[in-house]
Each structure stands twice: as structure tokens, then as C-alpha cells.
Amino acid sequence: MAIHKVLVTGANGQLGWELAQAAGSFPAFDFVFVDRNAMDLSNPNELEAIVTLFAPDAIINTAAYTAVDKAETETELAHTINAEAVAQLAKIAKHKNIPFITYSTDYVFNGNATSPYLTDTLLEPVNYYGQTKADGEQMAMAENPSTIIIRTSWVFSSHGNNFVKTMMRLMKDKDALNIVGDQKGRPTYAKDLALASIEILKALNEGKPIKGIYHYANKGETSWFDFAQKIKALAGLECNLTAITSDQFPTPAKRPNYSVLDTQKLENELGIEIPHWETALKQCIDQLI
Ligand SMILES: NC(=O)c1ccc[n+]([C@@H]2O[C@H](COP(=O)([O-])OP(=O)(O)OC[C@H]3O[C@@H](n4cnc5c(N)ncnc54)[C@H](OP(=O)(O)O)[C@@H]3O)[C@@H](O)[C@H]2O)c1
């Protein structure tokens, strides 16, 4: 059955919002966006009735418990939203025989690698948020092997809370900032991830066998310090930036030293070119200034 009506959770999140911005350019799809009030993932037992009401041809789950440090103590809620609800949505999609796309994180890995993580690299979550996402991946795949899981990293957008907007605010307010320089990763513009997600819908409609685990992040890699320097330059801000070590910036949840995702599998299967993070960052900052 061709996909036309697509139910998208997490309407007010970075990715949900970017999907809503992009939706108008893809009239082949009828996107229906639901926020926390319309579809609360902390009540997994109520999800089936809501999905049935909307009768979609596909589900995209962008909603998640994303408060990484708070997840260390709010463990039950984080697990319900990121694991149990995701498994339940996968099960519902299987019953209804419709595609299900959901998202995971670079934090499912241990952060000690020195070369990019492949989609089948062993899971060893670096913190409890990563554990809930790893559990969600495994529980969803067990319920429904056709589930499409896209791991992503360092997500930013002109909408919502993220490093880019926080840095721009702090650089305006302060003369100097210390930024962690010994953690490396791949920034991801939520707009580019939204467009890649729509490419997946198109590929499914063309009968391509997309399923299982994929990685998506913008091209290139950087450290938080170098990312901040680029933000400063592109936004034309004045602020003294100093690189510090992770040890000098302790957080409740541990962060990975190295979380570079290898995105080749998705690029090959979809036949897409992923934009470089600096190009993506410029687009995002142009919207913010
Ligand atoms: N942000 C990152 O750097 C990052 C990195 C790696 C992976 N990811 C993953 O990428 C996906 C998209 O992330 P994002 O950056 O768009 O996240 P986000 O901006 O934090 O948005 C998450 C959305 O989930 C919603 N939500 C939270 N609890 C909910 C609940 N109980 N029921 C329904 N909705 C609920 C939030 O609603 P409210 O607006 O009402 O709070 C919010 O709109 C997620 O799976 C995330 O885990 C993100």
C-alpha cells in the first residue's frame, strides 16, 4: 500500500518542527502532527487507540525523553517514553502493516572508539539516556523487525533547545566562555534529518527494502569547542572562547569522547548526499540572525 497519510509525533520538538516546515514541499504526503497533549508517550497503553483514530499509512516518532542529565534520576519516565512506548508503536505498526520510523542516538555507544561507529557496532550505552534508547531499539526490533531506526547526534535547529542557540545566547551575554574541546562528534541539522526521513518515505513508496538500523548526521566531524568557534564566526559575535577538558566540566550523565557515526549505509541505500555540518550550520544561523 502506498504511503500517503503520515502520523508524526513530537510536533514541538526540533525534528518534529522541521518536518512540519518541510511538509508543504511534499504534497504527495499528508502529514498529521501530534504533540504531547494529543499523544502522550508516557502512556504506552493508550497509543493504539490514538493511532487507530488517525488511521495513518506510516508513523514517524520524533518524540522522546531528551533531557540527558535528568534521565539519570528520572529513570522510569525516561524508560517508558524511550523504550516501552517505542516498542508499543513498533507493535502497533506491525499489526496495521504500516512502516514505522523512529530515532536513536550516538549515546548508545561507549564513546571510546577511534573510528566512526557502524550501524552494527556493539551497544554499550555511555549513560542512562543512551540505555533507554538502546532498550527502545532492541525492544522495537523484537516486536517488529521492519522498524526503521535512525541514530543521530548533536542535533540543532533554529527551533527548540540546542547547542547552537545556547551558544549564541551565552556569547551575546558573556565576554568569555569555556567549551569542552576533547569530545568529538557529527552535528546534525534537524532540517536535513527531516528531509532524509521524507526520502525514506519516498523510497518505501518505490518499493525499496528500507528497514533496520541506520545512521544520519551531517558530514564532517568536530569538537564542541570548534563547533562553538564556527557558531561565533557565522553569527558575527564577540566572545573569548577557551577549550577545556571533559574533566573540567562534570555533568550528571557521562558524555562520549568520540561519537562519530558512520552514515554510509543510509547514503548508499537512499542514494543521497549528506550536506557538510558547516553548510548546514550556516543555513540555520542565517535563520537566527
Ligand atoms: N537533540 C539531540 O541532540 C539528539 C541527539 C541524538 C538523538 N536524538 C534523538 O532524535 C530524536 C529527535 O530529537 P529532537 O532533538 O527533535 O528532540 P526535542 O527537540 O527534545 O523534542 C522532543 C519532543 O518530544 C516530546 N515529548 C517528550 N516527552 C513526551 C511524551 N511523554 N509524549 C509525547 N511527546 C513527548 C517533547 O514535547 P514537549 O515539546 O512538550 O516537551 C518534544 O517536542 C529523538 O529520538 C532524540 O532522542 C536527539
Interval between CA 240 and ligand 1 midpoint (Å): 31
Residue 46 lies in a domain: yes
Q: Using a 6 Å cutoff on CB, does residue 266 contact ligand 1?
A: no
Residue 264 within a domain: yes
- Pick from 14, 18, 37, 66 the residue to mutate for probing ligand 1's pocket: most ligand atoms within 8 Å of its CB: 66
Taking CA atoms only, the protein residue closest to ligand 1 atom 10 is 103
Cell, residue 152: 543521530
How high is the pLDDT of residue 1? 74
Query: Considering the domain boundaries, does residue 68 fall inside one?
Result: yes
Contact, 233 vs 240, CB < 8 A? no
Question: 168 lies in a domain?
Answer: no
Domain annotation covers residue 174: no
Q: What SS3 state is found at 45?
A: helix
Q: Which residue has the higher pLDDT, 1 or 165?
A: 165
Averaged pLDDT, 148-154: 98
The pLDDT tens digits of the residues spanning 257-275 come to: 999 999 999 999 999 999 9
CB of 101 within 8 A of CB of 200? Answer: yes
Tell me, using a 6 A CB cutoff, whether residue 140 lines ligand 1: no
| Cell, residue 118 | 557502524
Q: Where are the alpha helices (DSSP H) in the chain?
A: 14-23, 47-54, 75-79, 85-96, 128-143, 163-173, 190-205, 224-235, 264-270, 277-288
For the residues 43-68, what does the mean pLDDT come to? 98
User: Which candidate in 128, 129, 189, 214 is catalytic?
Assistant: 129
Q: How many Å apart are CA 145 and CA 53, to the nearest integer? A: 24
Between CA 134 and CA 131 the distance in angstroms is 5
Q: Count of domains in the chain?
A: 1
Question: What does the alpha-carbon distance between residue 104 and residue 15 come to, in Å, rounded to a whole number?
Answer: 12
For residue 121, how far is its CA from the centre of ligand 1 (angstroms)?
24
**Look-up: residue for cell 577545556?**
244
Residues β-bridged to residue 188: 155
Host domain of residue 203: 5-161+187-219+259-275
Pocket test for ligand 1, best of 34, 36, 108, 135 (most atoms within 8 A of CB): 36
What pLDDT digit, counting tens, does each position of 176-227 carry? Answer: 999 999 999 999 999 999 999 999 999 999 999 999 999 999 999 999 999 9
Element (H, E) at 185: strand 184-185
277-288 and 224-235 are packed helices; what angle lies between their axes, rounded to 10 degrees?
50
| 175 is a domain residue | no
> Is 83:139 a contact under the CB 8 Å cutoff?
yes
Q: Are 3 and 9 in contact (CB under 8 A)?
A: no
Using CA positions, which residue lies closest to atom 4 of ligand 1? 155
Query: What is the pLDDT at residue 87?
Result: 98
CATH of residue 205's domain is: 3.40.50.720
H helices within 55-177, ranges in order?
75-79, 85-96, 128-143, 163-173
SS3 label, residue 253: coil
pLDDT at position 121: 97
Residue 25 lies in a domain: yes
Task: Measure 62 CA to ligand 1 centroid, in angstroms.
Answer: 6
Please check whether residue 289 lies inside any domain of the structure: no
Q: Is the pTM of this model over 0.75?
A: yes
**C-alpha–C-alpha distance, residues 190 and 198, integer Å:** 12
